[in-house]
Amino acid sequence: MTEAEQYMQQALDLAKTAMGHTSPNPMVGCVVVKNGKLVASGCHERYGEFHAERNALTRCKEDLTGADLYVTLEPCCHQGKTPPCTDIIIERKIGRVFVGALDPNPKVDGGGIKILREHGIEVITGILEQECLALNEIFFHYITTGLPYVAMKYAMTLDGKIASANGDSKWVTGEKAREHVHFLRKKYSAILAGIDTVLADDPLLNCRTEEGVDPIRVICDSHLRLPMDSQIVKTAGKIRTIAAYTDAEEGTKKKLKSTGVELLQISEKNGHVDLEKLIRTLGEKKIDSILVEGGGNIHGSLLQTGLVNRVYAYIAPKLIGGKNALPPVGGDGIEKMKDAVVLQNQEILHLGADYCIRGDVVK
């Protein structure tokens, strides 16, 4: 690594410490170096609060004239919830700014770099660019499409079953694989499951990692069958919970709303919640990413929308058989292999006795 890359890596590491807290904003880290010495650092700690550059520069009281600033994302140049970062960079007389990735936000989109250069500040771009792009893949997708980044997750046996014929699924995978799922729940803003999953497993769908943030829980429940004594309903006052439905009795709606459950009426498609409409509506509500932990029917329907961006398949070295045992992806499926959903950029993780295959859906 070059010296610039080493400092940018420090900024990346700082940015990651805020995972789960900045949505729908990006994670950003910043370090300031003067005369070969690290003199300031900061990250964007929470949505609505100061950005990384302003945090780093306001905490440093020494003269920063001519210093180098390393930041994972192009400094903003517009007034939002906080002042433009370009202003304080200019005020503190920074000499050079090293940028990891450009900001595709239409309010920035190269404008931050342009302003800095107009004020005589040297700007060097593309430092650990791929790593900086990967850090905020969710933000880049959401800011350019308006759609949440959708990841589908399931755990299955080696013969492709997520549960036995009678529905038993505890546990397909071991502890390490289940711990990794909680890391994903920290990364994604919302978790989506179907009412069948709630009725079968009574899950909590929270995040149990250290300093983890519970994702927003979205339950597809066409006719609001959510049991009042389910863990989802009993904790709705503490964890934001949305029930997406098509039609339901007024009394049922009133009871659920009294527990803190938010009700979201979505148009019907084939007798169920229209998943494409639901995903788009959640995006309009500033939910930038969704981890789908549904059953085979939801997974099959969701793949048909073309809105899935990533798949996490956890595979356990077990065989359970059974022609009626449940598969991870249901629905009508495809007729020709050439029409299969293909994954690229695959990564394989070894988690105890299990494996996780991660891949991005080819669009």
pLDDT in tens, 147-188: 999 999 999 999 999 998 888 888 999 999 999 999 999 999
Quote the pLDDT of residue 251.
Answer: 96
Quote the pLDDT of residue 332.
Answer: 85
CA separation for the pair 84, 4 (Å, rounded): 24
CA separation for the pair 135, 27 (Å, rounded): 7
Using the predicted structure, report yes or no on whether residue 78 has a pLDDT greater than 90: no
Q: Do the beta carbons of residue 316 and residue 171 sit within 8 Å?
A: no
Of 107 and 189, the structure prediction assigns the larger pLDDT to 189
229 closest CA partner among 255, 196, 197, 264 = 255
CA separation for the pair 144, 259 (Å, rounded): 36
- CATH class of the 147-361 domain in this structure: alpha beta
Inter-axis angle of helices 275-284 and 296-305, nearest 10:
70
Which residue's entry shows tokens 């729908």?
24
Quote the pLDDT of residue 107.
Answer: 82
Which residues have C-beta within 8 Å of that of residue 350, sequence separation ≥ 6? none
What integer is the mean pLDDT of 137-142? 96
CA separation for the pair 10, 14 (Å, rounded): 6
Quote the pLDDT of residue 248.
Answer: 94
What integer is the mean pLDDT of 36-50? 94
Would you call 241 exposed, middle or buried from its count of C-beta atoms within 10 A (0-12, 13-18, 19+)? Answer: buried
Which residues have C-beta within 8 Å of that of residue 50, sequence separation ≥ 6? 44, 58, 82
Using the predicted structure, report yes or no on whether residue 106 has a pLDDT greater than 90: no
Sign, CA dihedral 155-157-158-159, equals negative
Quote the pLDDT of residue 240.
Answer: 97
What integer is the mean pLDDT of 46-64? 93
Model confidence over 210-230: pLDDT tens digits? 777 899 999 999 999 999 999
CA separation for the pair 301, 276 (Å, rounded): 9
Q: Do the beta carbons of residue 272 and residue 301 sit within 8 Å?
A: yes
Quote the pLDDT of residue 10.
Answer: 98
The full length of the chain comes to 363
Q: What type of residue is 45?
A: E
Q: What is the 3-state secondary structure (H, E, C) of the chain?
A: CCHHHHHHHHHHHHHHCCCCCCCCCCCCEEEEEECCEEEEEEECCCCCCCCHHHHHHHHCCCCCCCCEEEEEECCCCCCCCCCCHHHHHHHCCCCEEEEEECCCCCCCCCHHHHHHHHCCCEEEECCCHHHHHHHCHHHHHHHHHCCCEEEEEEEEECCCCCECCCCCCCCCCCHHHHHHHHHHHHHCCEEEEEHHHHHHHCCCCCCCCCCCCCCEEEEECCCCCCCCCCHHHHCCCCCCEEEEECCCCHHHHHHHHHCCCEEEECCEECCEECHHHHHHHHHHCCCCEEEECCCHHHHHHHHHHCCCCEEEEEEECCCCCCCCCECCCCCCCCCCHHHCCCEEEEEEEEECCEEEEEEEECC
Quote the pLDDT of residue 309.
Answer: 98
What integer is the mean pLDDT of 273-283? 97
Q: At 294, is the pLDDT very low, low, confident or very high (cuts 50, 70, 90)?
A: confident
Answer whether CATH 3.90.1170.50 is correct for domain 3-141.
no
CA separation for the pair 163, 26 (Å, rounded): 37
CA separation for the pair 119, 90 (Å, rounded): 7
Cα dist from 235 to 203, 225, 254, 281, whole Å: 11, 16, 17, 24
Quote the pLDDT of residue 331.
Answer: 86
Quote the pLDDT of residue 169.
Answer: 84
Quote the pLDDT of residue 212.
Answer: 76
pLDDT, mean over the chain: 94
Quote the pLDDT of residue 70.
Answer: 98
Could you state, in order of their start, the residue ranges of all structural domains in the chain? 3-141, 147-361
Quote the pLDDT of residue 360.
Answer: 97
Residues known to be catalytic: 53
Using the predicted structure, report yes or no on whether residue 242 has a pLDDT greater than 90: yes
Q: At 105, is the pLDDT very low, low, confident or very high (cuts 50, 70, 90)?
A: confident
Q: Do the beta carbons of residue 15 and residue 52 sit within 8 Å?
A: yes
Quote the pLDDT of residue 109.
Answer: 79
